[in-house]
Structure 1
Amino acid sequence: MDYTQGSNKQYHTQLSESDVGEYVILTGDPGRVKDIASYLDNAELVANNREYVTYTGYLNGVLCSVISTGIGGPSTAIAIEELVQLGCHTFLRVGTCGGMHLEVQGGDIVIASGAIRQDGTTREYAPLEFPAVPHYDVLSAQVHSAKTLHLSYHVGVVQSKDSFFGQHAPESMPVCSELENKWDAYCKLDCLASEMESSTVFIVSQTRHVRSGAMFLCLANQEREKTGLTNVQNHDLHPLMQCAVSTIKELITNDKAENH
Structure 2
Amino acid sequence: MTIHIGAAPGDIAETVLMPGDPYRAKWAAETFLQDARLVNDVRGMLGYTGTWNGHVVTIQGSGMGMPSLSIYANELIRDFGAKTLIRIGSCGGMQPSVKVRDVIIAMTATTVGSPSDSIFREVNFAPCADWNLLQAAAQAAKGLDVGVHIGGIYSSDTFYDERPDLNEQMVRHGILGVEMEAAELYTLAARHGARALAVLTVSDHLQTGEALPSDQRERSFGDMVDIALKAAFAS
Q: Would you say 1:65 and 2:58 are equivalent positions?
A: yes
Q: Would you say 1:241 and 2:233 are equivalent positions?
A: no
Query: 1:91-130 residue pairs with structure 2 within 5 A?
Result: 91-126=85-120, 128-130=123-125
Deviation, structure 1 residue 234: 4.5
Q: Distance in 2 between matches of 1:221 and 1:253?
A: 31
Gaps of 5+ in 2: none
The structure-2 alpha-carbon separation of the partners of 1:185 and 1:250, relative to structure 1 and needing over 3 Å to count, comes to closer
Higher Cα radius of gyration? 1
Aligned to 2:3: 11
Aligned mate of 1:156, from 143, 151, 160: 151
Q: Distance in 2 between matches of 1:47 and 1:11?
A: 11
Query: 1:220-231 residue pairs with structure 2 within 5 A?
Result: 220-225=204-209, 231=210
Aligned to 2:188: 204
Q: Distance in 2 between matches of 1:131 and 1:100?
A: 20
The residue type equivalent to 2:11 in the other structure is D
Q: Distance in 1 between matches of 2:203 and 2:234?
A: 31
Task: Judge conservation of contact 1:117–1:132 (CA < 8 Å) in 2.
Answer: no
Q: Distance in 1 between matches of 2:132 and 2:51?
A: 20
Aligned to 1:45: 38
Q: Distance in 2 between matches of 1:75 and 1:51?
A: 13
Deviation, structure 1 residue 162: 0.7
TM-score, normalised with respect to structure 2: 0.91
Gaps of 5+ in 1: 1-8, 171-178, 226-230, 255-260
Q: Give the fraction of aligned pairs with identical amino acids, expressed as a percent.
A: 25
Deviation, structure 1 residue 11: 1.3
Deviation, structure 1 residue 52: 2.2
The residue type equivalent to 1:129 in the other structure is N
RMSD across aligned C-alpha pairs, in angstroms? 1.8
Deviation, structure 1 residue 165: 0.8
Query: 1:81-96 residue pairs with structure 2 within 5 A?
Result: 81-84=74-77, 85-96=79-90
Q: Distance in 2 between matches of 1:180 and 1:133?
A: 25
The residue type equivalent to 2:29 in the other structure is A
Q: Could you list the runs of 4 or more consecutive aligned residues of structure 1 that deviate by over 6 angstroms after TM superposition?
A: none
TM-score, normalised with respect to structure 1: 0.82
Deviation, structure 1 residue 51: 4.7
The structure-2 alpha-carbon separation of the partners of 1:51 and 1:28, relative to structure 1 and needing over 3 Å to count, comes to farther
